[in-house]
Structure 1
Amino acid sequence: MDIKEEIRSIVLSSGADICGFANIDRFDNAPVGFAPTDIYKDCRSVLVLGVALPKGLSQVNPQLIYNYFNGNIVTMVDDILFRVAKKIEITFGGFAVPLPSDMAGSWNEETKTAHGILSMKHLAVQAGIGFMGKNTILCNEKFGNLMTVGAVLLNIDLQSDELCINHCPPKCHICIDNCPAHAICEDGTVNQTLCRPVAYGTTFRGYGTVECNRCRMGCPLRFGVKKNKK
């Protein structure tokens, strides 16, 4: 077993559902400030892992139950990233930099737009974990769009995994047509100024809620390419 597959085995045995790798050459055209080497200059490859939510959460009002576990899964992913990074350093030497899976590097209050330290979904695409639909949500062939992903930057030079085929049906516009805020654009972007006020709210005690996730749950690929069941 080569180093990459040994690392993959460590990741999957640590609780992740999926794991992929992208060599640093996959990010030659990344926007300035958003390449892995902008965070860690000696990065030679990126490990991306994902944890999927139970499909049952698609069957309930998203406001509270879905919101709770969709928020808590971030902590689960970060815990796996931390443990995996330490295990890689102990086993193979070198350095492993775990990145928080849901940390905004910047926030524009006027446009309600956040930018992560690095875009996890773009890292995931380059690592062959999935593809992005018209709603800009990452979708995996097996687990659909019910995933949270995180990444570890490595100074180990590993070969990239094969990129995932984009299975989003070209003529499907369900997410666009059913967005109550009309925030999903035909050019493959989402207007966060329109989306966030409709998608998120708070209870009378100030507890965060998810008020709308139609773009995720209405997608015919939400359970994966071959598990498209209502």
Structure 2
Amino acid sequence: MHADLKQQIIAASQTIGIDKIGFTTAAPFTDLKPSLVAQREKGYNSGFEHQNIDERVYPDKIFNQPRSIIAIALAYPTRMHQRAPRSEYKRGYFARASWGTDYHTILRAKMTQLIEKIRQLAGDDASIAFKPMVDTGELVDVAVAQRAGLGFIGKNGLLITKEFGSWVYLGEIITNIDFPPDTPIPCQCGECTRCIDFCPPSALLGDGHLNAQRCLSFQTQTKGMMPAEFRPMIRNVIYGCDICQLVCPFNKGKDTHFHPDMEPDPEAVSPELVPLLDISNKQFKEKFGALAGAWRGKKPLQRNAIVALANMRDRSAVPKLLEVIDKDPRPVIRGTAAWAVGHLLKNQNAEISAFLTTALAKETDTDAQAEFQQALRAIAALPA
């Protein structure tokens, strides 16, 4: 085994700016398979996961003769040192994992640097090979990181490190180099259930797994109508969810600012909601394109912005919402705007009811039609 090389790599990782590094074998993650199968059978998957379960469990199915996996963690900020200036508009919010430059970009760059350094340290041996991946890869990041000794998997399903809590991005590199493995860390949550207790949609199952379909982070990333049940729960967060991390005792007082490219732009991560509703594709790319939270495009964020306006009781947004209903070509946006108008009015309004009735008559999408009908019923039930 390459024990000396391992120590050299650990030292090199610190010069690259990798905050934690660990090593594990490339043995199969056999303990994972039953839970992965059960998750799929119960319909708990998000659909964003790698679909081939065997490739998530057996490293040798995605890499020729793997011997080790190197796991890395980068700590990200939890507090903004500057706030966006006061505005006439209400602001939304991106969850912390989407602050700064997209973490996929950052992690890939760090792993590329690390691989180059390992090649140098190994004497440019042409026989050594690597396969780096972030959360879009086949393996389960938290399982690799836990087995490599970076931290333990909490009841919220996230990796929790001693130094940084769960505020870390994870990546891993499969290699055919044989390294001495580090010691896995067992769960240290004990009797604490704060993450489970505070999860608004009860998405956490209590054993480190979750029903991703009920997770608010997942709900903010879908492209269709957000189910009405989840709309009040997202409050003014238009991407992601931090609740299970914010209430975790292991995260208390954790706030690192090691990486300049992770620092949030307040105007981008707490954007004005009303102007977001008619932002052009070019403007969207310029303002939000570097964020991880932009990966699904602008439609989910605009839908979530409309929900946030309703949750914040921003009645000044009603004229803009009516304009959206009249002019936006997307049924999801029109329907969500109609729901928001019905949610925001305090009293019956004959003019707005007539407007919505006319819009409903022109609407061809069945989901949007249902939202218009619900809005009209909500307005009819208001005081005159």
- What is the rounded CA distance, in whole Å, between the counterparts of 1:66 and 1:82 in structure 2? 24
- What is the rounded CA distance, in whole Å, between the counterparts of 2:148 and 2:166 in structure 1? 16
Structural mapping, 1:11-90, within 5 Å: 11-25=13-27, 27=29, 31=33, 32-34=54-56, 35-56=58-79, 63-64=93-94, 66=96, 68-69=98-99, 72-90=102-120
Counterpart residue number, 1:107: none
Secondary structure of the corresponding residue to residue 121 of structure 2: helix
- What is the rounded CA distance, in whole Å, between the counterparts of 1:174 and 1:14 in structure 2? 35
One-letter code aligned to 1:37: D
8 Å CA contact 2:5–2:121 kept in 1: the answer is: no
Provide the alpha-carbon RMSD of the alignment: 3.0
Counterpart residue number, 2:133: 100
Q: How many residues align?
A: 208
Query: TM-score normalised to the size of structure 1?
Result: 0.78
Query: TM-score normalised to the size of structure 2?
Result: 0.49
Structural mapping, 1:79-228, within 5 Å: 79-92=109-122, 93=125, 94-103=127-136, 116-168=137-189, 170-196=190-216, 200=220, 209-223=238-252
- What is the rounded CA distance, in whole Å, between the counterparts of 2:98 and 2:208 in structure 1? 28
Task: Out of 86-95 and 28-37, give the one that drifted further.
Answer: 28-37
Larger radius of gyration: 2
Q: CA deviation at 1:147?
A: 0.3
Q: 1:26 to 1:8 in 2, by over 3 A?
A: farther
8 Å CA contact 2:28–2:59 kept in 1: the answer is: no
Secondary structure of the corresponding residue to residue 123 of structure 1: helix
Counterpart residue number, 1:8: 10
Unmatched segments (≥5 aa) in structure 1:
104-115, 203-207
8 Å CA contact 1:67–1:209 kept in 2: the answer is: no
Counterpart residue number, 1:112: none
- What is the rounded CA distance, in whole Å, between the counterparts of 1:26 and 1:6 in structure 2? 26
Q: 1:195 to 1:86 in 2, by over 3 A?
A: same
Q: CA deviation at 1:164?
A: 2.1
Q: CA deviation at 1:128?
A: 0.5
- What is the rounded CA distance, in whole Å, between the counterparts of 1:228 and 1:81 in structure 2? 24
What is the percentage of aligned positions where both structures have the same residue? 27
Greater relative contact order (Cα < 8 A, sep 6+): 1
Q: CA deviation at 1:90?
A: 3.2
- What is the rounded CA distance, in whole Å, between the counterparts of 1:184 and 1:44 in structure 2? 34
- What is the rounded CA distance, in whole Å, between the counterparts of 1:177 and 1:77 in structure 2? 32
- What is the rounded CA distance, in whole Å, between the counterparts of 2:217 and 2:247 in structure 1? 19
Q: CA deviation at 1:141?
A: 1.0
One-letter code aligned to 1:64: F
**Structure (1 or 2) with the greater strand fraction:** 1
Q: 1:98 to 1:14 in 2, by over 3 A?
A: farther
Q: CA deviation at 1:214?
A: 0.3
Unmatched segments (≥5 aa) in structure 2:
34-53, 84-90, 223-236, 256-384
8 Å CA contact 2:78–2:254 kept in 1: the answer is: no
Secondary structure of the corresponding residue to residue 14 of structure 2: helix
Q: CA deviation at 1:167?
A: 2.0
